[in-house]
Amino acid sequence: MYRAVKVRLYPNLEQATALNQTMGACRWWWNYGLNLCINTYQETGKGLGRSAINFYLPKLKKEEETKWLTDCYSQCLQATTLNLTKAFKNFFEKRAKFPRFKSFYRKQSATYPQNVKLRDGGLKIPKIKGVVKAKIHRLFAGELKSVTISKTPDGKYYASLLFETNEATPSVVTTGKVIGIDLGLKDFAITYNGEKASKYNNPKHFAKHQKNLARKQAKLARKQNGSKSREKARKLVAKVYAKMSNARGDYLHKLSKKIVDNNQVVIVENLNVKGMVRNHKLAKAISDVSWGTFINFLSYKLDQKGGLLVLIDRWFPSSKTCSNCLYQVSELPLEVREWTCPSCHTRHDRDINAAINIRAEGIRQLSVLGTRTAADGGLVRPKGGRMSVLRHEPMKSEAHPKALGGDG
């Protein structure tokens, strides 16, 4: 079983320079490989696999203009190629968008697939002098498989440590408490566990920092391009975004852990967030709540526990159906927060009623599919997201580098 932990790094000036050079080389190699794949497909109608892309690397290291690639740890460039081929495979299997070129001004990263050693108070990284100081707050018993170094736009360094542990993946157990969750904007989450309903407020992180962000962005806009003062102003803006992101992640982690610790089966709607953000009136609010990230947190925490996440159809009329008599109203506008069932005259809170119906529909799916089908995935967890780490190529048909004029 693979487990990962993210730690903060505190490199000195010399170590930071070396890390920046490595991440810059990986970024350049990613863009070169992506451009090579695009041009090859346009010319031949075929893609390039990992070995075909790596075929060009030794030649580039010998050329005068790109001789600086030799200063980068070679395994980092190999890992970049692997990540590129995985990005293509995710695109072709409709799990992700087409790979994009990486920018100097966004988050930087480099993966070390081997030879990184844990030391007291830090990490020993290949081609980096000394031990890079790190705040390692948690370790797993097992082999350290890879380390991904990243630099955020606000100038902070992090390391993601991936361990292969001896822990067996727990089998899915569906006996236990079942909770239904209705996600919203007025309240972030409304839950019902069969006994009581609970509401969790929407923290509205962006609204809290909007004035501060606007003020710093206005200062940034007045700075001259390329100046040191502009770089300082850019970091101030990046710090505001980082503060929002950290607060949002902290809230989502704490809430998802609370729900998973107290329940064995979690049932939520499979929301079409991509389509919902096309509504320009609600796009900012929908992006701020991060429903997709919250569902991902629930998913991996349940997997580690042996629980089950059930995603019900997005078209299921959870709000318009009476949870008491199952009568369905024809229309229920968003501004209507409470309504009375015309059939049984039960007074409903819109969100609590939806959470009750979501839970009931999830239980119905489990009973129809059967315990084993639900545990294996079946139709309960639809295909989506990214696959686990695999050694694979982006396309079945591959153009050989010799056919493109490469040296062999």
Q: How far apart are CA 72 and CA 25, in angstroms?
A: 7
Euclidean distance between CA atoms 73 and 51, whole angstroms: 18
Asked if 407 is an active-site residue, the reply is no
| 71 labelled catalytic | no
* Token digits of residue 397: 């048909």
What is the maximum alpha-carbon separation in the chain?
Answer: 81
Q: How far apart are CA 134 and CA 123, in angstroms?
A: 7
Q: Are strands 157-165 and 117-119 parallel, antiparallel or unpaired?
A: unpaired
CB atoms inside a 10 Å sphere around CB 160: 15
Measured between alpha carbons, how far is 288 from 276 in angstroms, rounded to an integer?
Answer: 13
- Identify the active-site residue in 143, 154, 187, 269: 269
Coil, helix or strand at residue 359: helix
303 is catalytic: no
Quote the tokens at residue 323.
């949870």
Given 182, 361, 398, 407, which residue is catalytic?
A: 182
Residue 197 bridge partners (DSSP)? 192
Produce one character per residue of 218-229: b if its CB has 16 or more CB atoms within 10 Å, e if not: eebeeeeeeeee
Of these residues, 143, 351, 398, 407, which one is catalytic?
351
Rounded distance, CA 52 to CA 5, Å?
A: 33
> Cα-flanking dihedrals φ and ψ of residue 59, to 5°?
-65, -40
Q: Which residue has the tokens 């566990």?
A: 193
Contact indicator for 311, 175 with CB cutoff of 8 Å:
no
d(CA 86, CA 183): 32
Cα separation, 361 vs 339, whole angstroms:
21
Residues across the chain: 408
Positions annotated as catalytic residues are 182, 269, 351
